[in-house]
């Protein structure tokens, strides 16, 4: 990381701006982006984008967008003591909120505030075990002596509260400790890319910038896309790493490059066309890449998608099949027998019946060969996890 990039990271991560209150970040981004692009556009919600025009009027329009907003809070009530109750803006883990410094933005100026920390003995539940605090347990305190003083200083319900954190480097100068990495990292990346392309022609009209209100439901992206009408849109964002030695099913590993998530059922780009024949129900594919988990759902960020190695038809081994309770019915049993007949061969078949917890070796007249097509045909009847071909050694 060079000094210029570090200064840019520090500048943007220390800027404060939660969803709907991104003006400080937007002002800085507009100023930094101005000399790098041909024109600048701002949508109605406040997203801002620089455009590098292509000479061809029908050139593809490619859009890269980060987002400016960070998570924060909004004042919901001013108590008689002069402290505030709040609601979250974006997703917060309540554990990290207590005893932290914040900035309160009011119509009369900004003021330092601190979040309260509830004593452990006051968090004991009915079972006498300490309970984690909720947002309702935590107050924000700007030092005002009562409601009237807070009101006199301009504090109102609806005012924003944003974390106050200084950005620093770790000892080895390779990592950053900051707030708002999600997604000022993306803003910095956009600027670094534009700077690298400032004297370079591109084969497309390039649109790069940042949306607003991402943390409260991707609101800004819709307006920006409708305004600038890209042919393809890339969201530039950060993703949590899960590469501790003890964890399983890593969703992202530091220093292993960019995670590329593809989500748009209306786009049939060249990569999809190339692999579309493989991406059909019942086909087996081999994927190289990283796994990702979000909201309890697992997805795969694929670097390479290939067909699995074919099992030679002369391969010898044993078929192990399982009829679980979900798939064990009369129709499936008859359909499986027909597949046995269709692919007759010299490989024994052993079936495990889950209901009775019994194994059965099938008569030799129903043994099968080792064609991979068998797995595709059996999968809808048994499920992929219930089909194994074990090669003979």
- The tokens describing 105, both together, are 């933005």
**What is the rounded CA–CA span in Å between residue 210 and residue 67?**
5
**What is the rounded CA–CA span in Å between residue 187 and residue 25?**
9
**What is the rounded CA–CA span in Å between residue 173 and residue 1?**
8
| 3-state secondary structure at position 56 | coil
**What is the rounded CA–CA span in Å between residue 386 and residue 323?**
7
- The tokens describing 246, both together, are 């003890």
Count Cβ atoms below 10 Å from residue 223 Cβ, excluding itself.
Answer: 17
Burial per residue of 180-207, b for 16 or more beta-carbon CB atoms within 10 angstroms, e otherwise:
bbbbbbbbbbbbeebeeeeeeeeebbbb
Burial per residue of 27-57, b for 16 or more beta-carbon CB atoms within 10 angstroms, e otherwise:
ebbeebbeebbeeeeebebbbbbbbbebeee
| 3-state secondary structure at position 123 | helix
Q: How many residues does the chain have?
A: 393
Active site residue 214: yes
- The tokens describing 326, both together, are 């979900």
Distance from CA of residue 22 to its chain's centroid?
22
Question: Alpha-carbon Rg of the chain, whole angstroms?
Answer: 29
- The tokens describing 390, both together, are 């074990």
Which of 214, 215, 371, 377 is catalytic? The answer is 214
- The tokens describing 71, both together, are 């998570």
Distance from CA of residue 6 to its chain's centroid?
25
Q: Which residues are catalytic?
A: 214
């Amino acid at each position: 990381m060079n000094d210029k990039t570090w200064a840019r990271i520090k500048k943007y991560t220390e800027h404060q701006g939660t969803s709907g209150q991104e003006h400080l970040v937007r002002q800085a981004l507009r100023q930094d982006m101005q000399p790098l692009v041909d024109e600048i556009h701002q949508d109605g919600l406040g997203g801002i984008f620089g455009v590098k025009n292509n000479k061809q009027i029908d050139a593809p329009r490619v859009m890269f967008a980060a987002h400016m907003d960070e998570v924060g809070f909004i004042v919901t009530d001013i108590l008689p003591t002069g402290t505030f109750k709040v609601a979250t803006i974006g997703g917060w883990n309540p554990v990290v909120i207590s005893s932290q410094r914040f900035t309160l933005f009011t119509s009369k100026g900004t003021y330092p505030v601190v979040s309260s920390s509830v004593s452990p003995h006051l968090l004991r539940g009915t079972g006498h075990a300490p309970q984690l605090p909720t947002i309702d347990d935590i107050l924000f305190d700007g030092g005002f002596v009562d409601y009237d003083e807070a009101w006199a200083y301009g504090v109102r319900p609806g005012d924003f509260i944003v974390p106050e954190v200084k950005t620093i480097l770790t000892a080895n100068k390779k990592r950053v400790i900051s707030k708002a990495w999600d997604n000022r990292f993306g803003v910095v990346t956009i600027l670094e890319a534009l700077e690298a392309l400032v004297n370079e022609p591109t084969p497309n009209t390039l649109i790069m910038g940042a949306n607003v209100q991402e943390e409260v439901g991707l609101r800004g992206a819709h307006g920006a896309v409708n305004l600038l009408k890209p042919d393809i849109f890339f969201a530039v964002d950060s993703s949590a790493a899960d590469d501790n030695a003890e964890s399983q099913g890593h969703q992202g590993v530091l220093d292993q490059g960019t995670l590329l998530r593809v989500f748009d059922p209306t786009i049939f780009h060249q990569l999809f066309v190339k692999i579309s024949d493989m991406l059909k129900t019942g086909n087996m594919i081999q994927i190289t890449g990283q796994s990702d988990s979000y909201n309890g759902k697992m997805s795969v960020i694929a670097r390479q998608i290939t067909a699995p190695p074919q099992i030679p038809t002369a391969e010898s081994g044993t078929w192990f099949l399982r009829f679980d309770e979900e798939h064990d019915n009369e129709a499936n049993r008859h359909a499986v027998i027909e597949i046995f007949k269709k692919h007759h061969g010299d490989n024994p078949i052993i079936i495990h019946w889950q209901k009775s917890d019994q194994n059965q070796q099938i008569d030799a007249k129903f043994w099968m060969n080792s064609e991979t097509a068998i797995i595709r045909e059996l999968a809808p009847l048994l499920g992929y996890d219930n089909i194994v071909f074990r090669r003979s050694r």
